[in-house]
Chain A
Amino acid sequence: NAGVTQTPKFQVLKTGQSMTLQCAQDMNHEYMSWYRQDPGMGLRLIHYSVGAGITDQGEVPNGYNVSRSTTEDFPLRLLSAAPSQTSVYFCASSYAYSDSGNTIYFGEGSWLTVV
């Protein structure tokens, strides 16, 4: 059971380049989401999905795109990278509902630097 797997772990991009952060989970979770972590700001929600074919914006969606074609995968695309997108990105997943509460499982993180 691999849990939530993110790739790549580290990436350096030039301003204007595009790239995709991959996220996969093998727990059959309906809910998946992407967060970015910046110093002193905790984690902020970028986009989320409550099931295949359904996505929605979070708190800081600008400059990012997502899709959910399968239950397992939820890639995050940076359309035209900017230095302000330098951050640590976390993918997370959970069941939509459970009696024991919606425990959220996080990936190991992707460190992205835009120069």
Chain B
Amino acid sequence: AQSVTQLDSHVSVSEGTPVLLRCNYSSSYSPSLFWYVQHPNKGLQLLLKYTSAATLVKGINGFEAEFKKSETSFHLTKPSAHMSDAAEYFCVVSLFEDYKLSFGAGTTVTVRA
């Protein structure tokens, strides 16, 4: 079985400051890990994915995430927040052998001017 815990339901940052969204996962096997972003009333857009290659993964819009197996974490960061980053972010885990996805509950990001 696999599961995902997003440690913060809401994160508020000032424009131009770093963003950190925390995600822990549990999985019996080697997982694939994803971060998706959802802007209000929109669908889900893939930010980045980890698939057992490099542990530091770079995504779109300046986001990156680091896979830490020892900590079972896959935290998402961005050095400088932009107003357009205000959205909901989902950490997702899946297995190569099992196509089902497990979603975290989501983290809502607010960016203050």
Residues of A at the B interface (CB closer than 8 Å) are 31, 33, 35, 40-45, 48, 50, 58, 90, 92, 94, 96-97, 100-104, 106-109, 111
Enumerate chain A residues within 8 angstroms of B36, measured Cβ to Cβ.
Answer: 106
Enumerate chain B residues within 8 angstroms of A101, measured Cβ to Cβ.
Answer: 32, 49-51, 96
Q: Is B103 an interface residue (CB 8 A)?
A: yes
Q: State the 3 A-B residue pairs at the shortest beta-carbon distance, nearest first.
A: A101-B51, A42-B103, A108-B43
Enumerate chain A residues within 8 angstroms of B34, measured Cβ to Cβ.
Answer: 103-104
Number of CB contacts from chain A to chain B under 8 A: 59
Interface centre among B42, B44, B49, by most A CB within 10 Å? B44
C-alpha gap A33/B41 in the complex (Å) = 20
C-alpha gap A58/B99 in the complex (Å) = 11
Which one of B41, B43, B51 contacts A106 once the chains associate, using CB atoms below 8 Å? B43
Interface residues on B, range: 20 to 34
- Separation in Å of the A90 CB from the closest CB of chain B? 7
Enumerate chain B residues within 8 angstroms of A106, measured Cβ to Cβ.
Answer: 36, 43-44
Residues of B at the A interface (CB closer than 8 Å) are 4, 9, 32, 34, 36, 41-44, 46, 49-51, 90, 92, 94, 96, 99-101, 103-106
Name A50's closest neighbour in chain B (CB-CB). B99
Once the chains bind, are A48 and B51 in contact (CB under 8 Å)? Answer: no
Once the chains bind, are A109 and B43 in contact (CB under 8 Å)? Answer: yes
Given known A-B contacts A40-B106, A42-B90, A42-B106, A104 and B101 have beta carbons under 8 A apart: yes
Enumerate chain B residues within 8 angstroms of A45, measured Cβ to Cβ.
Answer: 100-101
Once the chains bind, are B43 and A90 in contact (CB under 8 Å)? Answer: yes
